[in-house]
Structure 1
Amino acid sequence: MLNIFKPARHRASLPENQVDDAYKRYRLQVFLGIFIGYAGYYLVRKNFSLAIPYLQKQGFDKGDLGLVLAAVSIAYGLSKFVMGTVSDRSNPRIFLTVGLLLSAVINIFFGATSIAMSSIPLMFCLMFLNGWFQGMGWPACGRTMVHWFSVHERGTKMSVWNVAHNVGGGLIGPLAIAGMSIFAAWQSHFLFSSLNCCCGGDFCIFCLA
């Protein structure tokens, strides 16, 4: 396992009179971290679908572009299993953030360079990598939820946390419009959401204990 993912070092116990206040604060802080962090994953998951009409105008076949888009789902399914086993032995604070930032880097590469979209095989490989990094999100969030919330309250907390999917997915459209307005280029579908994703990564590092 890479050293960067090693579990956090043991911390000395707080004085007993500080435990209740600190525990309540940390639980809220951690919950916000995994909520905003996982919503961020959705900002850079399938931005490629927004670029398909523009790539068709450049001569790419719609069926081939659909195959590229499928690479995300294929890799995501595999990664969710493989990276889940790695996540169980990792520091979720780092694991969640690294996956989010790497996924953002792939999208920045798409938006900032013409090389990324020069051929179907290259686009497929990049989107496969994106899907693999996407698989690092859920395991870290699930592990954090188990550690910080008891069995009898987990259903309620998970249902609230699950709204992160909708928040992240719902923000893709407005961010794409905002990016087009600011940068006046369709590549901003990748860039603007990725920049916001990096802010989400910083928030995860700050919040997760």
Structure 2
Amino acid sequence: MFGIFKPKAHIDRLSPDSIDSTYSRLRWQLFIGIFVGYAGYYLVRKNFSLAMPYLIEEGYSRGDLGVALAAVSIAYGLSKFLMGSVSDRSNPRYFLSGGLLMSALVMFCFGFMPWATGSITAMFILLFLNGWFQGMGWPACGRT
């Protein structure tokens, strides 16, 4: 396992009188972190659908873009299954953040690198990578 994805080390037990206040605070931190993190995943996942009308204006057919968009679903399904077992052996905080960062970088390529929208093959590969990194989101959320 990569260094940053290793599980967090065990910590000492809390004293009985501080359990309620500490756990209440940690529950809220966890809820807000998962909510914001998964909302970020959802926003990054749906970007390509918003760009499709402009790509059609550039000369791509709906069928070609549909083939490229299928890469997200294929990779997302495979990744959720395979990355779930990897997530169980890792630190979910870094696993969730790492997947979101990589997914955002892939979508950044679409906006700022002309070769990314130069062919259906390039779009398929990038969308496959995006789907793979998207699959890293829920396993980390569900584990915590």
Which residue does 2:130 correspond to in 1? Answer: 130
Provide the residue aligned with 2:19 in structure 1: 19
Aligned to 1:96, what secondary structure does the other structure show? helix
Runs of 4+ that moved beyond 6 A: none
Cα contact 1:46–1:72 (8 A) shared by 2: no
Q: Does 1:113 align with 2:117?
A: no
Listed as ranges, the matches of 1:94-105 within 5 Å are 94-105=94-105
Give the structure 2 partner of residue 160 of structure 1.
none
* Alignment map for 1:23-38 (pairs within 5 Å): 23-38=23-38
Uncovered stretches (5+) of structure 2, i.e. residues with no partner: none
Given that 1:71 and 1:128 are in contact with CA atoms closer than 8 Å, whether structure 2 keeps it comes out as yes
d(CA) in 2 for partners of 1:122, 1:137: 24
Q: Which residue of 1 aligns with 2:76?
A: 76
Which digits, 9 at most, give the CA deviation of each residue in 1:163-201, with x for residues without a partner?
xxxxxxxxxxxxxxxxxxxxxxxxxxxxxxxxxxxxxxx
Q: What is the one-letter code of the residue matched to 1:128?
A: F
Give me the TM-score of the superposition, normalised by structure 1. 0.67
CA distance in 1, matches of 2:64, 2:57: 14
8 Å CA contact retained: 1:46, 1:69: no
Identity of aligned residues (%): 65
Cα distance in 1, alignment partners of residues 15 and 112 from structure 2: 51
Whether the 8 Å contact between 1:41 and 1:134 is mirrored in structure 2 is yes
> Aligned with 1:14: secondary structure?
coil
1:126-146 CA-to-partner distances (Å, cap 9, x unmatched) read 0000000000011011110xx
Cα distance in 1 between the residues matched to 2:112 and 2:43 = 17
Q: C-alpha deviations, 1:112-159, integer Å up to 9, x for none?
A: 121111111010000000000000011011110xxxxxxxxxxxxxxx
Q: How far is the alpha carbon of 1:108 from its aligned partner?
A: 0.9
Unaligned runs of 5+ in 1: 145-209
Hey, what's the Cα distance between the residues in 1 that align with 2:71 and 2:46? Answer: 10
Match of 1:8 in 2: 8
Deviation string, structure 1 residues 3-62 (Cα, Å, up to 9, x no partner):
221001122223332221001110111111111111110101021111111111111121
Supply the distance in 2 between the matched residues of 1:57 and 1:76 (Cα, whole angstroms): 28
Q: Paired residues, what number?
A: 144
The amino acid of 1:12's aligned partner reads D
